[in-house]
Amino acid sequence: MRGTTITPIDLDYLSLPGAALAFLVEVPDESAAGGVRRVLVECGPEACRPRLESELARRGIDPASIEAVLLTHIHLDHAGAAGGFASRGARILVHPRGVRHLVDPAKLVASSRRVHGDRFDRFYGEPIPGPADRIDAIEDGAAVRVGDAILRAIETPGHARHHHAWMLEHAGGRECFTGDVAAMIVPGSRFISVPTPATDFDPSAWDASLARLLDERSDRLWLTHGGRVDAPHEFLAAVRRRVADEAAFLLETARACEDREAVERYRAWLHPQADAARVPEAMRSAFLGRAFLEMNLAGTRKFLKDQLEPKHG
């Protein structure tokens, strides 16, 4: 086998090609069974685990041979399948704030069911609780060695407080798995969409995280929702502008308008930008429709509320 490879696996999330990815990282290592060590960065929702496992099997890979799953954060579209992989023997590496939600997903599931109702099972599926002894709390800056490659956690709050980007350092360069801190790209376009969900959207923390990623000078980015980006500096600078614009608009709108009016005003602001960026109609309604607009406004209202009553812990 050549050097370290990264294979994006499309999870066919919500039957939408390109909506969410997991990344298979394979590192040659003569001391390992079969001469290769394998980890996943992200594993998608539990609802997509059969798809992910069959995509691995199609490549001749036994899902039980995945030695670790590295999570960027615990939102269910990124981490819902982690318990399933842990029950097959994988270690799960996650921000310290995420550990308890993987061991006991009940609270996460209940709040998501409240938001999504009947759609929860199709969106995410019920996660399997992860065995506590297979879940590792990873602090900012901690590095994990896989063969001669290193994966280093970069704490990057803003979209979520329990968020790490993962920097893969190997002979081929420095490649950064950005989770949602580098936002997402709407499939079928290059439009950068900024998801600001409750419970811990924080625009200034997000900006600082993007500044930190710019300083890291990676050779390439891998977005969970968007895939490979070959011009990281240019892209991260564009995301930084988009986050600032979106946050300014959302904060102003959430302060000025009640829910229904706010959704309409947000739609009237966002959709023409998506149209100008040639987002296909079907993708606009799938990714930037009412559910997205409501999610972002809810996250903004939660941020404003926390400004008034700071939360602890």
Q: Least distance in Å: CB of 96 to Zn ion?
A: 20
Q: Select 26 or 180, whichever has its Cβ closest to Zn ion.
A: 180
CA atoms within 13 A on the CB side of 291: 11
Q: Least distance in Å: CB of 308 to Zn ion?
A: 27
Rounded CA gap, 274 and 193, in Å? 9
Which residues, including other chains, have CB under 8 Å from residue 236's CB and lie 6 or more apart?
Answer: 182, 210, 213, 214, 221
Q: Least distance in Å: CB of 70 to Zn ion?
A: 15
Degrees (nearest 5) of the Cα angle 108, 111, 112? 80
Q: Least distance in Å: CB of 35 to Zn ion?
A: 34
Q: Least distance in Å: CB of 88 to Zn ion?
A: 23
Q: Least distance in Å: CB of 224 to Zn ion?
A: 6
Do residues 116 and 80 touch, judged by C-beta distance below 8 A? no
Residues 24-83 touching Zn ion, rule: CB under 5 A, are 77
Burial tier of 22 (Cβ tally within 10 Å: 0-12, 13-18, 19+): buried
Rounded CA gap, 78 and 100, in Å? 16
Query: What is the amino acid identity at position 91?
Result: R
Residues 161-180 touching Zn ion, rule: CB under 5 A, are 180
Q: Select 4 or 112, whichever has its Cβ closest to Zn ion.
A: 112
One character per residue 121-160, x = contact with Zn ion (rule: CB under 5 A) = ----------------------------------------
Q: Select 181 or 270, whichever has its Cβ closest to Zn ion.
A: 181
Size of the site for Zn ion (CB under 5 A): 2
Residues 178-237 touching Zn ion, rule: CB under 5 A, are 180
Q: Select 225 or 240, whichever has its Cβ closest to Zn ion.
A: 225
- The 3-state DSSP class for residue 149 equals strand
Q: Select 56 or 184, whichever has its Cβ closest to Zn ion.
A: 184
Q: Least distance in Å: CB of 159 to Zn ion?
A: 8
Rounded CA gap, 193 and 203, in Å? 14
Q: Select 149 or 288, whichever has its Cβ closest to Zn ion.
A: 288
Q: Select 27 or 250, whichever has its Cβ closest to Zn ion.
A: 250
| DSSP structural state of residue 171 | T
Do residues 155 and 95 touch, judged by C-beta distance below 8 A? yes
Identify the bridge partners of residue 177 per DSSP, sorted by sequence position. 166, 222
Q: Which residues bind Zn ion (CB under 5 A)?
A: 77, 180
